[in-house]
């Protein structure tokens, strides 16, 4: 009997039982088959066959499970077997869950987790098998991330939660929310966040649900201690009144909010983002905004700085997710502000305008002791993706050291320039950087020998401060600082000056650092650690502007071929400011300034001939838009209207080019309108009173009437005077108050493009939903003031399919139909603005009011198939101009747009005819105000 079992072929048996599973197992085993013990194989086959006997999916899960742990110890296999058997005895569904989720638990090899898992499984199974699926999936993911501590607490939380008595609905809710929460929390904070959740759960599950809501609203920003204090305070409130505590935890009560505000010390990116963006726009006047470091897709994680820190590319300053460096929130917000302010300096003072050619010329002029090879002599055309700065660093034997030195001198240069232009900025922000630098200094120097130099030059620490901690290197620090100070005094320093300083100091620093490094036993170069991990990332900057770079290099090359030598950085700047288009006249302008010539040109002294420039520019090919036109959507039974479109390339109209289809809107009933009114009850009240006030203003006084409400004293006086003078007095002695007709017709044209479906930052509602709320309030306001108004939406795809949705016509009363149609407004496709405006104009022209107004509400620029950029902007501008010529006032409101693009809105609508509302949630409060101001 025994002999027989030894010769047994378990996999063969499995094949006979179920060939599909058998082949799956063979595939899964693959190369491991030789390593797997015969016992393990027979367990695999036996258990799988047993499970297959119950249900196919159960059997396959078991097979998969055993395959994943087949390399583990026999005890482990035994535990798995027992676990699955016990669960499987209660039914294949439970068995399958166990078969799947026991695997990561066993792989984690952690006794307590295993124990807790069994307990939790039992508890949840009792509570109802439906509670198992999602929570266990989340456990898998946590364990997969290697976070054993969180897994432990999470399991214990599950035990506590599901051993409580509660109604079915709530249990279901918990089964959905607990795993979601556990996975959402940041791994670093997850353990203590979950344990606080458990603490609350022990008291009351409803409170735990409230706490999870609160976490979504910002409680996750609290530190461990702060969260624990918050929970304690909440639990104290629970004693007398559970509902109060619920509101407290969900941050719905005022006391909850205020305790949270008190305890919160971390500043989060979302809180400071709009503020910083506005600041950067004002400060630099460029398209520069802040962005999360995590928004940057990592490319291989080549340096430790990819995981955090502060740096810039062409359009963004990357900042950390949250700052919790200091004890108060104000200080942490200040960290963000200081970082943004200093980083803005890099953009303002041209760090990324570094020109390799110019830097090398500068080095040679000043006879730098370090001899740099001339990259031009190598004859290799460098890749466009490699920036001038990187190419410069690569000239040195140790590029990373050169990069760090550049960082030191460049940050020093920016500090120097900031001190001159913005003394207030430096006096408020620099101390913070100095404090950080001191902290880094005190941490020990063996690994980071450049820190004292950084502290001295970039942070401006006094010699005493930066040299206190070191003895041997103080001479190096002093010498480098002297070198830097002299360079800063010489003239206005540029990024190339920093490059020159790198070349001047590289050799000395390298020889001094070498013994240091050897003493510490470090072979490879360790990059410098700066306060708040600030770095200069020329690579990112380069990648975000490849098109410009390619053009600049190509123009430079073609010009050089024709004997015209100018710096690439000059071309780059021009191209950037002209949005990638450069003409002969621009080049001529560049050529007029001798500073733009390279040394080569100065020696060659060739006269510049316009023809050569022209030929060079022609040689540079520009890309064209090649998108094909899609067939227009099928709208067979909508009334169609044809409109011309302005083609700026032709300088003429294309007649009957765009077809506008007036689509019927199927309204659908919902509580949206009413709930908006309720949500904004306070505001609605205010709107009503403000617009009531607008109305009496419309009650005009008419003087010199024959009959009226009261005497006009001016006229009475004249009457008396005339009588005395013997003239016939006028009988027009009265003032009459008449309701002046606010003879206004307004059409609100709403852009329903796809982008309006985007979620509003920090909430789960969409841009369009907020717009709709604004429309509700707007209608309320107009209802009060009594102006004639219409609401319409537009979208579409292609020139033949522009859709125009009539939500409310001028003559429609604001009834349930209209309300339903407002509800039904939904994001559609593109934005062919010109045609929609022309159609709106035809609607408005039918109105007889004296003042006609078109308000456009949108979230971006016109964009459709073959309707892009300049073409689209020009056509829209044209359409607006046509309207203005007809005496219709046009005003645009743009929401949710990056303020950096706002200058283009001036081009589109004219600088006083539009409003930009960066934060769309302000719209409901702003729309009616803007209308009020427009018709004041």
Cβ contacts of 261 within 8 Å, gap of 6 or more: none
Residue 188 engages another protein in binding (rule: CB under 8 A): no
Smallest distance, another protein to C-beta of residue 872, A: 20
Q: Which is nearer to another protein, 262 or 722 (CB)?
A: 722
**Cβ of residue 685: shortest distance to another protein, in angstroms?**
20
Query: Whole-number minimum distance, CB 720 to another protein, in Å?
Result: 7
Residue 721 binding another protein, by CB under 8 A: yes
Nearer to another protein by C-beta: 479 or 913? 913
Alpha-helical (H) ranges within 726-799 are 767-785
CB of 882 to another protein, least distance (A): 17
Binding piece for another protein, criterion CB under 8 A, among 77-85, 277-285, 682-690, 868-876: 277-285
Q: How far is the CB of 688 from another protein (least distance, A)?
A: 21
CB under 8 A: which stretch of 54-62, 309-317, 597-605, 721-729 binds another protein?
721-729
- If one asks whether residue 718 binds another protein (CB under 8 A), the answer comes out as yes
Containing 418, the helix (H) or strand (E) segment is helix 399-421
Name the minimum Å distance from CB 316 to another protein.
18
| Beta-carbon count within 10 A of 8 CB | 14
Phi, psi of 606 (to 5 degrees): -85, 140
Spatial distance between the Cα atoms of 58 and 49, rounded to a whole number of angstroms: 10
In angstroms, rounded to a whole number, what is the distance separating the alpha carbons of residues 444 and 451? 10
Q: Who contacts 443 (Cβ-Cβ below 8 Å, separation ≥6)?
A: none
Q: Which is nearer to another protein, 279 or 370 (CB)?
A: 279
Q: According to CB under 8 A, which one of 470, 533, 608, 902 is a site residue for another protein?
A: 902
3-state secondary structure of 699: strand
In whole angstroms, give the CA distance from residue 789 to residue 810.
5
In terms of CB distance, is 79 or 915 closer to another protein?
915
Q: Which stretch binds another protein (CB under 8 A): 123-131, 641-649, 832-840, 909-917?
A: 909-917
Binding-residue total with another protein (CB under 8 A): 47
Asked if 423 interacts with another protein (CB under 8 A), we say yes
Number of C-alpha atoms within 13 angstroms, CB side, residue 501? 29
* Contact between 739 and another protein per CB under 8 A: no
Give the residue with the Cβ less far from another protein, 216 or 718: 718
CA distances from 707 to 140, 716, 718, 734 (A): 88, 13, 17, 6
Q: Give the β-pairing of 652-663 and 802-808.
A: parallel
For 811-869, the DSSP string reads T--S-HHHHHHHHH----S-B-HHHHHHHHHHHHHT---SEEEEEEEESS--BBTTB-H
Query: Measured from the CB atom, is 725 or 846 closer to another protein?
Result: 725
Q: How far apart are CA 143 and CA 159, in angstroms?
A: 17
Q: Closest CB to another protein among 91 and 274?
A: 274
Nearer to another protein, 674 or 722 (CB): 722
- Quote the CA–CA distance of 116 and 137 in Å, as a whole number: 16
| 899 in contact with another protein (CB under 8 A) | yes
Q: Which stretch binds another protein (CB under 8 A): 454-462, 599-607, 710-718, 763-771?
A: 710-718
The alpha carbons of the chain give a radius of gyration, in whole angstroms, of 36
* Site for another protein contains 258 (CB under 8 A): no
- The terminus-to-terminus CA distance of the chain in angstroms comes to 102
Closest distance of CB 686 from another protein, Å: 15
Contacts of residue 860, Cβ cutoff 8 Å, sequence gap at least 6: 751, 753, 755, 831, 894, 897
* Selected binder of another protein within 4, 27, 671, 724 (CB under 8 A): 724
Q: For another protein, which residue of 43, 52, 231, 425 counts as binding (CB under 8 A)?
A: 425
Burial grade of 873 (CB within 10 A; 0-12, 13-18, 19 or more): buried
Q: Is 166 strand, coil or helix? A: coil
Q: How far is the CB of 795 from another protein (least distance, A)?
A: 25
In the complex, the smallest distance separating the C-beta of residue 745 from another protein, rounded to whole angstroms, is 11
Q: Among residues 3 and 492, whose Cβ is nearest to another protein?
A: 492
Q: Following DSSP, what letter does each residue of 18-75 receive, concatenated?
A: -HHHHHHHHHHHGGGGGTS-HHHHHHHHHHHHHHHHH-HHHHHHHHHHHHHHTTS-HH
CB of 786 to another protein, least distance (A): 15
- Give the range of 28-36, 417-425, 462-470, 500-508 binding another protein by CB under 8 A: 417-425
Mark 821-860 with x for binding to another protein (rule: CB under 8 A) and - for no binding: ------------------------------x-x-------
Choosing from 93, 131, 160, 281, the residue that interacts with another protein (CB under 8 A) is: 281
The single residue among 439, 546, 720, 881 that binds another protein, judged by CB under 8 A, is: 720
Q: Which one of the spans 72-80, 104-112, 361-369, 418-426 is the region binding another protein (CB under 8 A)?
A: 418-426
Burial of 667 (0-12, 13-18, 19+ CB in 10 A): middle
CA 606 to the chain's CA centroid = 50
**Least spacing, CB of residue 341 vs another protein, in Å:** 7
Nearer to another protein, 488 or 744 (CB): 744
Q: Give the per-residue contact string, 371-410, with another protein (x = CB under 8 A; - = no).
A: ----------------------------------------
- Element spanning 137, H or E: helix 133-144
The owner of tokens 């306060």 is: 531
885 binds another protein (CB under 8 A): no
Q: Which stretch binds another protein (CB under 8 A): 235-243, 272-280, 653-661, 674-682?
A: 272-280
Q: Alpha-carbon distance 338 to 606, whole Å?
A: 48
Using rule CB under 8 A, residue 924 touches another protein: no
Shorter beta-carbon distance to another protein: residue 551 or 744 = 744
Residue range at the interface with another protein (CB under 8 A); choices 33-41, 753-761, 811-819, 898-906: 898-906
Q: Which of residues 496-555 bind another protein (CB under 8 A)?
A: none
Residue closer to another protein (CB basis): 657 or 904:
904
CB within 8 Å of 615: residues ≥ 6 apart: 558, 562
881 part of the interface to another protein, by CB under 8 A: no
**Does residue 901 bind another protein (CB under 8 A)?**
no
Task: Evaluate whether 339 touches 319 at the Cβ level (below 8 Å).
Answer: yes
Binding status of residue 906 toward another protein by CB under 8 A:
yes
Q: Is 814 in the site for another protein (CB under 8 A)?
A: no
Do residues 201 and 208 touch, judged by C-beta distance below 8 A? yes
| Whether the Cβ atoms of residue 247 and residue 256 lie closer than 8 Å to each other | yes
What residues between 323 and 362 interact with another protein by CB under 8 A?
337, 341
**How far apart are the C-alpha atoms of 29 and 35, rounded to whole Å?**
10
User: Could you say whether residue 905 binds another protein (CB under 8 A)?
Assistant: yes
Whose tokens are 């729309």? That residue is 927
Considering only the stretches 102-110, 294-302, 419-427, 810-818, report the one whose residues sit in contact with another protein under the rule CB under 8 A.
419-427
- Which H/E stretch holds residue 701? strand 699-705
What residue ranges bind another protein (CB under 8 A)? 274-275, 278-279, 281-283, 285, 337, 341, 421-425, 427-428, 703, 714, 717-718, 720-722, 724-725, 742, 744, 851, 853, 889, 891, 899, 902, 905-906, 911-912, 914-918, 933-936
């Amino acid at each position: 009997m025994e002999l027989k079992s030894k010769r047994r072929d378990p996999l063969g048996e499995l094949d006979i039982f179920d060939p599909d599973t058998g082949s799956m197992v063979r595939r899964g085993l693959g190369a491991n088959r030789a390593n797997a013990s015969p016992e393990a194989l027979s367990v695999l086959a036996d258990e799988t066959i047993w499970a297959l006997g119950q249900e196919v999916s159960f059997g396959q899960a078991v097979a998969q499970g055993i395959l994943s742990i087949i390399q583990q110890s026999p005890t482990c296999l035994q535990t798995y077997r027992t676990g699955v058997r016990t669960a499987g005895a209660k039914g294949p569904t439970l068995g399958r869950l166990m078969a799947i989720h026991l695997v990561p638990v066993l792989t984690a090899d952690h006794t307590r987790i295993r124990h807790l898992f069994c307990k939790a499984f039992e508890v949840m199974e009792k509570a109802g098998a439906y509670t198992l699926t999602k929570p266990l999936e989340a456990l898998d993911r946590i364990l997969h991330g290697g976070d054993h501590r969180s897994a432990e607490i999470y399991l214990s939380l599950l035990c506590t939660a599901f051993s409580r008595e509660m109604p079915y609905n709530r249990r279901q809710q918990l089964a959905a929310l607990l795993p979601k929460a556990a996975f959402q929390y940041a791994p670093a904070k997850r353990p203590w966040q979950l344990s606080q959740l458990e603490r609350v759960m022990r008291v009351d599950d409803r409170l735990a649900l409230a706490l999870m809501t609160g976490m979504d609203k910002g409680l996750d920003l609290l530190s461990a201690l702060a969260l624990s204090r918050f929970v304690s305070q909440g639990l104290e409130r629970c004693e007398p009144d559970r509902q109060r505590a619920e509101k407290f935890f969900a941050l719905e009560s005022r006391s909850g909010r205020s305790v949270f505000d008190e305890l919160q010390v971390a500043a989060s990116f979302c809180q400071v983002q709009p503020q910083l963006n506005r600041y950067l726009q004002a400060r630099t006047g460029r398209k520069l905004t802040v962005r999360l470091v995590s928004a940057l897709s990592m490319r291989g994680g080549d340096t430790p700085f990819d995981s955090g820190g502060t740096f810039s590319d062409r359009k963004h300053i990357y900042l950390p997710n949250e700052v919790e460096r200091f004890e108060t929130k104000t200080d942490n917000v200040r960290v963000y502000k200081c970082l943004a302010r200093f980083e803005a300096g890099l953009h303002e003072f041209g760090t990324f305008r570094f020109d390799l050619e110019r830097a090398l010329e500068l080095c040679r002029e000043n006879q730098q002791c370090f001899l740099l090879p001339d990259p031009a002599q190598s004859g290799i055309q460098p890749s466009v993706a490699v920036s001038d700065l990187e190419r410069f660093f690569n000239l040195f034997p140790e590029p990373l050291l050169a990069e760090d030195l550049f960082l030191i001198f460049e940050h020093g240069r920016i500090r120097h320039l900031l001190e001159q232009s913005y003394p207030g900025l430096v006096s408020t922000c620099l101390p913070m950087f100095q404090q950080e630098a001191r902290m880094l200094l005190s941490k020990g120097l063996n690994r980071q020998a450049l820190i004292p130099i950084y502290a001295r030059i970039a942070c401006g620490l006094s010699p005493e401060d930066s040299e206190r901690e070191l003895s041997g290197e103080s001479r190096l620090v002093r010498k480098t600082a002297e070198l830097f100070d002299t360079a800063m005094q010489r003239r206005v320093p540029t990024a190339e000056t920093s490059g020159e300083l790198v070349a001047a100091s590289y050799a000395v620093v390298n020889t001094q650092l070498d013994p240091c490094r050897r003493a510490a036993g470090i072979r490879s170069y360790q990059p410098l650690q700066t306060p708040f991990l600030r770095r200069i990332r020329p690579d990112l900057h380069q990648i975000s502007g490849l098109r410009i770079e390619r053009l600049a290099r190509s123009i430079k090359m073609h010009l050089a071929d024709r004997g015209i030598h100018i710096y690439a950085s000059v071309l780059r700047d021009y191209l950037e400011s002209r949005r990638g288009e450069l003409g002969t006249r621009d080049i001529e302008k560049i050529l007029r300034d001798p500073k733009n010539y390279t040394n080569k040109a100065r020696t060659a002294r060739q006269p510049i001939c316009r023809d050569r420039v022209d030929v060079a520019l022609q040689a540079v090919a520009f890309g064209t838009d090649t998108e094909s036109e899609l067939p227009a959507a099928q709208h067979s039974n909508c009334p169609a209207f044809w409109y011309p479109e302005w083609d700026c390339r032709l300088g003429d109209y294309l007649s009957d080019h765009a077809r506008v289809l007036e689509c019927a809107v199927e309204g659908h009933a919902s509580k949206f309108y009413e709930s908006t009114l309720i949500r904004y009850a306070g505001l609605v009240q205010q709107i009503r009173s403000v617009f009531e006030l607008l109305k009496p203003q419309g009650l005009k006084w008419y003087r010199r009437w024959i009959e009226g409400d009261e005497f006009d004293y001016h006229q009475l006086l004249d009457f008396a005077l005339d009588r005395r003078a013997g003239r016939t007095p006028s009988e027009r002695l009265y003032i009459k108050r008449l309701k002046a007709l606010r003879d206004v017709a307004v059409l609100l044209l709403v852009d329903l493009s796809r982008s309006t479906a985007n979620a509003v930052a920090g909430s789960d509602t969409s841009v369009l939903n907020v717009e709709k709320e604004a429309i509700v309030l707007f209608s309320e306001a107009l209802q009060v003031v009594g102006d004639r108004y219409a609401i319409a939406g537009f979208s579409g795809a292609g020139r033949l399919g522009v859709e125009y949705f009539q939500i409310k016509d001028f003559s429609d009363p604001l009834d349930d139909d209209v309300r339903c149609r407002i509800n039904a407004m939904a994001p559609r496709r593109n934005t062919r603005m010109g045609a929609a405006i022309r159609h709106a104009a035809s609607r408005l022209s039918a109105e007889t009011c004296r003042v006609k107004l078109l308000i456009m509400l949108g979230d971006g620029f016109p964009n459709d198939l073959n309707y892009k950029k300049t073409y689209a902007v020009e056509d829209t501008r044209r359409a607006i101009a046509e309207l203005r010529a007809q005496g219709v006032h046009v005003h645009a409101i743009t929401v949710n747009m990056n303020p950096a693009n706002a200058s283009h809105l001036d081009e589109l609508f004219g600088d006083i005819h539009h409003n930009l509302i960066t934060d769309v949630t302000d719209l409901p409060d702003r729309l009616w105000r803007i209308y009020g101001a427009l018709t004041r």
